Structure 1
Amino acid sequence: MTAPASNPLLSDRDVDFQLYEVLDTEALCQLPAFADHSRETFTLFLDSTRRFARDVLLPTYRLMDNEPPSFRDGRVHVHPLMRKLYPQLVELGLLSATHPVEAGGQQLPITVYSLASAYLMAANLSAYGFIGLTSGAAHLIQAFGSPWLKDEFMARMYRGEWTGTMALTEPQAGSSLADVKTRATPAGDGTYRITGSKIFISGGDQDFTENVVHLTLARIEGAPAGTRGLSLFAVPARRPEGGRLVDNDVRVAGAIHKIGWKGLPSLALNYGEGGDCRGWLVGEAGKGLAHMFQMMNEARIMVGLNGVATASVAYHEALAYAQNRPQGRPAWEKDAARPQRPIIEHADVRRMLLRQKAIVEGGLSLLAAASWQADVAVHGKTEEERRRAGLLLDLLTPLAKTFPAEKGFEANALAVQVHGGYGYSSEYLPEAYLRDQKLNSIHEGTTGIQGLDLLGRKVMAAGGEAMRAFTEEVGATVERARKAGVEPAWGEALNRAQQEVVELTMELGAAGMAGEVERMLRHSADYMELFSVLAVSWRWLAQAAAAREGLARGGESRDFYEGKLAAAQYWLNTELPRVTHLVALCRSGEDSYTRMKPEWF
């Protein structure tokens, strides 16, 4: 057997469906920020990105996965292909595509950029990772940096001359940012002397641009303990001095050997071993974590898109394999002399493919909805529109990061299963995609952290206003589905599940307000699961409504729309009922794992 010759990465028809039938992305052009755009300009950007992803990036994936970066002579050497790929990625306009024209950007809606970038992630997520990190770091400087930092650092990053990272994690602290120990001491010249260590810094060094800027959390001498004492600094590997770049005493202490994302180095860094590492304050002292959340939340959406993209490319690989791999015959066909049938004709293979489709396209729809709210949160016409969209974006972000990572891993495992023995062989790509996917549940806050954030902060935000806005969105979708002629039971089931979740949330919130915080958060992982199922059910009902509307219009897309309705039926009939069980579990206070003592293991 040979692997499929090509892979579409994502379905173009589905991406257009999400943008223009499920959502009305053209309506964003009515906002002043996007007035110069139209569906035509969106299509130009999408088409150029799709072509580059398929024709240029995809062929490099295997090579970069097989030859990860090496650390020698104190420097990281990435795959030589990056010297050609990075300038081409920059030339596509990816670094500043969503940023204002005055910052060198195209001022594209995030909704369009997100779905376009998913093609690049599906093709070679490591190569795209340098772009995503650099864009996020430059955007931090754009939002909070001084004019000098914008001219000296941000401009070079947006031009692709320098790359950027986010440097939060430390060996002794892990995800506990309150325990960050990196120190910043005023140097008397407007800079700070930085000393400390960071670990798991993606893209922390490379040899295809002249510099890397680390957006670093550190504690100014005398600052209070905890997250309130953290400030944000731009710390370049080489600092500008006298019109040239000089070494800035940032040392690579070691490289992390990873199971996936192998083309993007993950490093341990030491600052100030020689006492001469300088950093520039970004924004206000003591507001470092608040500033960094801008990049962290952007990165969480990026990780969610990576989850969808990695599940999608594997799904299309499995679909093509199932369509072309002859094996066996239907159970009722006894004549062994008859030709073998493609395995897609076996019901269990279709079950596995349909589950992958439901996860991939449900996840993509969730990311598109979150991106839409991101556009309105910044560019909405009224303060109330912007505020409501911001609350919805905050609520959807942990879901949009977690669902594609966790369920995407399941989808990737199914892609391996469809391939059978070929699936776990390195001659075929699904095993590599499975390795890549696992990192997404850990990147940018583990699933456990996201669950605590969702239940402990996001659904309770503004006195429950975010939750009320979400229920309004669900209600509008149920009404749209009713008018479109979608099976009424689907909308009724979604309404019931939503009401169960609202009531549970109120109960858990009351427990937290009464001081029973452990009781409130005991089942935060289960709460994340049930809310993810609910949110993706909402998106599948929206897709079912759009599919019914499409069928009513007629045309040549009947098979596409029928496939959407089958996937919606699958998700709403097999996954949505799980919400009731998970609600009961959260409500019960079942305490097996919190009662379990360390010594009992």
Structure 2
Amino acid sequence: MPMTAPASNPLLSDRDVDFQLHEVLDTESLCRLPAFADHSRETFTLFLDSTRRFARDVLAPTYRLMDAEPPSFRDGRVHTHPLMRALYPQLVELGLLSATRPVEVGGQQLPLTVYSLASAYLMAANLSAYAFIGLTAGAAHLIEAFGTPWLKDTLMAPMYSGEWTGTMALTEPQAGSSLADVRTRATPAEHGSYRISGSKIFISGGDQDFTQNVVHLTLARVDGAPPGTRGLSLFAIPARRLEGGRLVDNDVRVTGAIHKIGWKGIPSLALNYGEGGDCHGWLVGQEGKGLTHMFQMMNEARIMVGLNGVATASVAYQEALAYACNRPQGRLAWEKDAARPQRPIVEHADVRRMLLRQKTIVEGGLSLLAAAAWYADVAAHGATPEERERAGLLVDLLTPLAKTFPAEKGFEANTLAVQVHGGYGYSTEYLPEAWLRDQKLNSIHEGTTGIQGLDLLGRKVVAAGGAALRAFGEEVDATVERARQAGVDPAWGEALEKATRDVMELTLELGAAGMAGDVERMLRHSADYMELFSVLAVAWRWLAQAAAAREGLSRGLEGQEGRDFYEGKLAAAQYWLHTELPRVGLLVTLCRTGEDSYTRMKPGWF
């Protein structure tokens, strides 16, 4: 039967989001935890619906305009697109800044699982506009977690209320991703402050003209601190500080703007602290624990980048699907009559191949992020210490995967969306090329894919004697059993179990090499290890979706549209488990043999 597509881009599939929340996961069961006792499925739906409406009706129409007219830097200030002056207060009014935070700081104490999937609509609509919210919430949460009462009253409260925005300021020109080489200095000064001097670069949202102030959560070294990451402390540095009840300049200077190929609505800036010797910052948390504290915001930002990856792939997939359903071109290979009407291109097998691959990446990635958010909710609010600890291990393990898979495979999905559009996809008159540009930054934001691979293999899977890896294996076993009981093809579960065993055995071998002192051998194929674990984790999520789809079909309560949805899920699960999961075995062999071509290369050989 012919496929139909919505008249306008829905950004994400509402049916899929509800499926992930309430059929694959039982998000309503979180309401049994005291932290979420005031919520119900009804309150979740209200929040989702208000966010969806705003994303579609208000935010999405601004995307093309803001992409075409990036912020400008003139007279020492950044001027964002004029639309942001109206958009930001409306984003604040939705309750986004403190939605997951306790009522004591003005929050709704909403599960991160619900908030994450709701925010994905906003990212799909206009990722740059939402980024101001995401960064501000993360910065305020750092002060909430580690700041003094004075810092909370003075800096956190205006951020949560939307009066000010916030950033994370880590990167420096000479250091890049090597935070051990941060040089920004902090010298103790009067009234408990520190005089800050140094430079930062690539600071997203580092200045704007739609709120009164920007607070930079910054890594710096107190005078006399040891070298390396042990010497880093965390400081809150407002662009304008309070003196005598009014805001005055705090000697924070924007020295340049980065001209980006994507994410054009939010500025990326170079900043100087203390050119005039009068930049004041306030210590957040313990001296020398700056990187440990900052990891809270970094990990939250990694999940946000993963959601951006899924959202950017999703909006392009929805656009490609609509185009394919409505674009007539050509006939099927066996139709020789030139007088026959042309077919919508969705009827051509290769177009369906491209659409199905996009679907598996988008919906597999969304399911992975929903699972990561679920474990984060349990890690923070679970009923017992043991439950919280186990969930925390799983969050730590899944975070590099949830950041990297949507960014890397999302870029592939975006290229397929361009390809479905053919020559039109390569033109600026159509939006897929813009989303493709946006997507590329996600593999660089918050630690490149290479850094995430080193983190996954060098830290996460071997931490606590491999406890996180064992917990992951238990989750896979539970999903396989659920799928078996639901009537999913047993071969799918068996293939997932075998791949999981292979990865666990490989991890033990690589970990043993590292323990024996051969760290280079352990990490030589960390990028391939990231790839194989990502494929495995998404196969686990697709088996969970297949189980929920079979359960839905067995209920038999939905009409044809519902059956089509579930059959589509089963076809997508089949695709991933049959075409992608077998790659795990090849990548395991590559990692195990220690193939050394690129590590053996000398600079002169290139």
- Asked if 1:575 corresponds to 2:575, the answer is no
Superposed, which structure 2 residues align to 1:493-532 within 5 Å?
A: 493-532=495-534
1:551-578 deviation line (CA, Å, top 9, x unaligned): 0001221000000000000000000000
The 2-side partners of 1:102 and 1:215 are apart by: 22
Identical pairs, percent:
87
The equivalent residue for 1:584 is 589
| Residue number among 92, 115, 118 corresponding to 2:117 in the alignment | 115
**1:6, CA displacement in angstroms?**
1.5
**Partner SS, residue 270 of structure 1:** strand
Aligned counterpart, 1:235: 237
- The aligned runs of 1:213-252 (5 Å cut-off) are 213-252=215-254
- Write the distance in 2 (CA, Å) between the matches of 1:489 and 1:424: 41
> What is the Cα deviation at residue 299 of structure 1?
0.1
Give the whole-Å Cα distance in 1 for the aligned partners of 2:21 and 2:508.
Answer: 34
Aligned length: 599
How is 1:74-89 mapped onto 2 (pairs within 5 angstroms)? Answer: 74-89=76-91
Contact kept? 1:4, 1:321, Cα under 8 Å: no
Match of 1:91 among 87, 90, 93: 93
Map 1:152-551; keep pairs closer than 5 Å.
152-551=154-553
2:151 match = 149
| TM-score normalised per structure 1 | 0.99
The separation in 2 between residues aligned to 1:589 and 1:560, in whole angstroms, is 43
- Describe the superposition over 1:490-525 as per-residue Cα deviations: whole angstroms up to 9, x where unpaired: 000000000000000000000000000000000000
Distance 2:411 2:190 in 1: 50
Q: Could you tell me how far apart the structure 1 residues matched to 2:254 and 2:245 are?
A: 25
SS at match of 2:421: helix
Secondary structure of residue in 2 paired with 1:213: strand
Report the residue type matching 1:558 in the other structure: R
Query: RMSD of the alignment, in Å?
Result: 0.7
Deviation >3 Å, runs of 4+:
none
2:410 counterpart letter in structure 1: G
- 1:9 and 2:11 matched: yes
Q: Is the 8 A contact 1:4 1:317 kept in 2?
A: no
> 1:193 aligns to what SS in structure 2?
strand
The aligned amino acid for 1:593 is: Y
1:556-567 equivalences in 2 (<5 Å): 556=559, 557-567=562-572
CA distance in 1, matches of 2:592, 2:261: 38
In the alignment, the residues of structure 1 paired with residue 410 and residue 401 of structure 2 have an alpha-carbon distance, to the nearest angstrom, of: 13
CA distance in 2, matches of 1:195, 1:338: 73
Q: Note the 1:25-36 alignment, pairs <5 A.
A: 25-36=27-38
Deviation at 1:461, TM superposition (A): 1.0
Which stretch shows the higher mean deviation, 185-194 or 532-541?
185-194
SS in 2 for 1:205: coil
Relative to the length of structure 2, the TM-score reads 0.98
Q: Aligned-pair distance for 1:4?
A: 8.3
Match status 1:596 vs 2:601: yes
User: Alignment partner of 1:423: what SS?
Assistant: helix
Deviations 1:437-467 (A, max 9, x none): 0000000000000000000000001110000
Matching residue's letter, 2:51: T
Amino acid in structure 2 at the alignment position of 1:586: C
Query: CA offset at residue 403 of structure 1?
Result: 0.1
Where in structure 2 are the equivalents of 1:32-71 lying within 5 Å?
32-71=34-73
SS at structure 1 position matched to 2:383: coil
